[in-house]
Structures are given as C-alpha cells and as structure tokens.
Amino acid sequence: MDPLHAKYPFFEAARDAVAEASVSLPELVAADAPAVERARERVERALLEGTVEPEDGPFEPSGGTDARMELLSYPIARILVSLLDSAPAVRKYAAAEAATAAERFRADFEADDDDLQSVSTPTIDLDDVLGEFELDGAVRSEPIRGSRDPTHYRMGVGAYLRLTSPSWGVSWRLVNRELADGEVRVTREELLDAVEVAVEERVLEGLPFELESGEGIAAELESGVADLKRLLSERTYAGPVDVVVPDLFAPCMTNLIEKAERGVELSPPESFALMAFLTGIGMSPDEIVAFCADTSLEAEGIRYQTEYLRDDRGTQYPPPTCETLSNYGICHNEEDHMRIAADPLSYYEKRVEAADDPTDWRETQAADGTEGAIDGEAD
C-alpha cells in the first residue's frame, strides 16, 4: 500500500490501487470494518467542519493498516454522502476533501522546499500535482535568478478560466490580470487555489451515486446515514437568531468586515466564513449585498456564495467552527472567548440573548429609507 494513495485517495493511482486490491466494499461495510467508521467521520467532519482530517489530528501516511483504512474510507464516504440525498451536502463534502488536500499539498511542498522529506512520510511536489490534473502543460514557473523556488507562475488562460472564479474578488477578473501570449500570471498561492478547484472537480466526478435505498450497500449503511442526517439536523440552523446587530458579532467576523471595509480582498476561506455567518443569522442575499455595499465584497460573489450555502429546503449548513477558523488564521480567540461557544454563530446567539432589546440593523436601514437597496436594488 502506497501511503500517498491514502493521503490523496482521489488520485488516479489511488483509485487503481483500490480496484486492483479486489476489495469488496459491500463486504467491508457488512463486516463494519474500521474504514466504515472513518468514512462516517470523513463525511461528518466535511459537512460540519469543512475538513476531512481525522478529529484526533492530521493523518500521517506511515503505511500499514491505517493507510489502508484511510484509503478505503474514501470510496465508502462517497457512498455515504450520496445516500444523504442532498446536492449541497455533496458539494460541501467535495469542497472539504479539496480544502484538506490543499492543506496537505502545502505541507508537502513546504517539506520539499525545506528538504524535510522522510521515508516514513512520503510527500509529493507541485509537478506531481500538476501532472495528476493534466495541468503540467498549462502551467510553467517563472524562473527567479538565484532561487529554486518560484513565486509566480504562468497559467494557460483556458485552465485559468476553468479553475478560478471572478466571484473570488476583483483581482481574479481576467481584465485585472497580467495576460500575455495566452497565459495569466498567478502567484504560487493563487495557483494552489486553482488546484484546489481541480481537486473538487475530481471528487465531484460521478457523485452522487444512484443507489436504491434499503438495498445492498445502502441498506448496510442505513444507520450511518441516519446518524449523519440526525447530526446535520441538530447542527442545521433551521431557526436562525434572525436579528442583525453588528455590535454583537464575534470578533473574527468583525475583523473580516473591517478588513473588507478597508478595501482589502478577503481570501476564499475568509469570505466563505463571513457569508456562512451572515446567512446563518438569517440575512437574505439581498440584505447581505446591502450590508456589504461599502466593502471589497462584490454583489455577484456574495450571491454566488450565499446560494451555495442554502440548500433546497431553505436551511443552511453551519458556518465553520472556531477550531476551523483558527486553523485558517481567521480566529485570534480574543480574551479566550472560544470557551464561551464553539463557533461564531453560537457566540453571537449568546450575546443577542444577553443583550437588552438590541436594535436590528435592518430596522435602521428601513428608517434611513434604504429599504429599496435591501430589496434587491443594491447591485
């Protein structure tokens, strides 16, 4: 078992390894093998935390049984998420697989740059990743004299348009890019953002599976699916706090809003966290567009992200937890308030509950005569 297959189970070679191992997924599931529990954790963490890393810490590909379990948990997780019968759940799962992979890529590249590779923890380099997604012909590095680590790359415009989105911010728009000979200049970090989308596309391929509920592997996984659905309904904010009091927002969200108000572009995880929070407190896309009117956030991007956050039943998946936001460097845990709540929305709800008749921002907008903007005229 190649430990890298377990670390990157969506790679072609990993899929081939599962096929060649002649492993019967129905038999594994029927036997309740450890990979089944890890698959359930994978989906749960993806939907609730935005990551598929195990709860007890990042997966270390040391080979042996754990690597096999980790690898096999991936195809089972794909079946589990298909059985949830929710398109947003599938998208969120794929996004979490991609975000986790991107973090692992970064760690691998860093180890590679620092010559820290070891036999027990094999790593891959950027060329391997670009080759995996057939981007090796579409991306070339800009050589820097005296350094072997390029900071910028040239990316074919076709690949750029497929793997990036103008909704990520104005700087991603092609008109604002250095474009020459059909190539777009990107930083190393921007290239990784694009690669993350390539991973997401790969994970989404073939999902959701069409499975007859109550039969075969679907029947065997019924209790795991029921557990996940229960967890999601517990964590889904069907009845949002539905009052908008910016003074009571958690510091992480206030920091993000202030950053955007200074005209600084938010990174994709930052804008996702903010949109998830504002959606989670019951704001409509029109209200969020009006609320963010004087910031670097664009109406088009806001609508795209808030659409993604709502499922077809009108409820939302919860915003990232403090733990996830801390991993992204978004949380600074001011005055140790992480012990008050596990996520910014719960923190806000507690503050609203404790507040004495707080004034809703929407009422002040209506009083100011800006109601029309909230009703969809902001953009």
Closest separation in Å from C-beta 303 to ligand SF4:
25
Query: Which one-letter amino acid corresponds to residue 47?
Result: L
The smaller minimum CB distance to ligand SF4, of residues 14 and 250, is found at 250
Q: Which two tokens stand for residue 322?
A: 């403090």
Q: Is 338 a binder of ligand SF4 (CB under 6 A)?
A: yes
Query: Tokens for 127?
Result: 């060329």
Which of 17, 29, 101, 331 binds ligand SF4 (CB under 6 A)? It is 331
Task: Report the SS3 class of residue 312.
Answer: coil
3-state secondary structure of 152: strand
Query: Which part of the chain contacts ligand SF4 (CB under 6 A), choosing from 77-85, 105-113, 290-298, 337-345?
Result: 337-345
Nearest residue to 25 via CA among 85, 101, 80, 84: 80
Q: At closest approach, how far in Å is the CB of 320 from ligand SF4?
A: 8
The answer to whether residue 15 forms part of the interface with ligand SF4 (CB under 6 A) is: no
Q: Using CB under 6 A, pick the residue from 322, 373, 374, 378 that binds ligand SF4.
A: 322
Nearest approach, Cβ of residue 150 and ligand SF4 (Å): 34
Type of residue numbered 193: D
Q: Are 343 and 235 in contact (CB under 8 A)?
A: no
State which amino acid sits at residue 257.
Answer: I
276 part of the interface to ligand SF4, by CB under 6 A: no
Pairing verdict, β 179-180 and 152-156: unpaired
| The binder of ligand SF4 chosen from 171, 176, 333, 364 (CB under 6 A) | 333
Instruction: Kindly state whether residue 301 participates in binding ligand SF4, applying the rule CB under 6 A.
Output: no
Exposed / middle / buried, residue 68 (Cβ in 10 Å: 0-12, 13-18, 19+): buried
Task: Read off φ and ψ for residue 3, nearest 5 degrees.
Answer: -55, -25
| Mask for 235-264, x = binds ligand SF4 (CB under 6 A) | ---------------xxx------------
Which residues lie near ligand SF4 (CB under 6 A)? 250-252, 322, 325, 331, 333-334, 337-338, 344, 347
